[in-house]
Amino acid sequence: MPLDSPELWGTEKDGSRTNEYCKYCYQDGQFTHPEMTLPEMQEHMMKYMEKEKLPQDIIERAVDRLPFLKRWSAKITLM
């Protein structure tokens, strides 16, 4: 998700906005679904984007970028 608008930014514990994560994934300084794995997030995104009838190439690019986002790249590095 492009984070080019502060309305889409997540929030820290103090209520300030962070442009590192979206509001759907990060609220009050924590992930909304901390137990969600990368494969689960990829599946979730695919289903949502297919439901929204987005083109398949857009869906594939978005899902392929997930492992490089800060949330997931940190976990991959630790493994």
56 or 4: which leads in pLDDT: 56
- CA angle, residues 19, 46, 26, in degrees to nearest 5: 25
- Entry pTM: 0.76
Question: Mean of the pLDDT values across residues 15-26?
Answer: 92
Tell me the per-residue pLDDT of 23-75, one tens digit each, with 9 for 90 and over. Answer: 989 999 999 999 999 999 999 999 999 999 999 999 999 999 999 988 888 66
Any idea what DSSP says for residue 7? G
Q: Residue 73: name the closest of 40, 47, 38 by CA.
A: 38
Say whether 31 sits in a helix, a strand or coil: strand
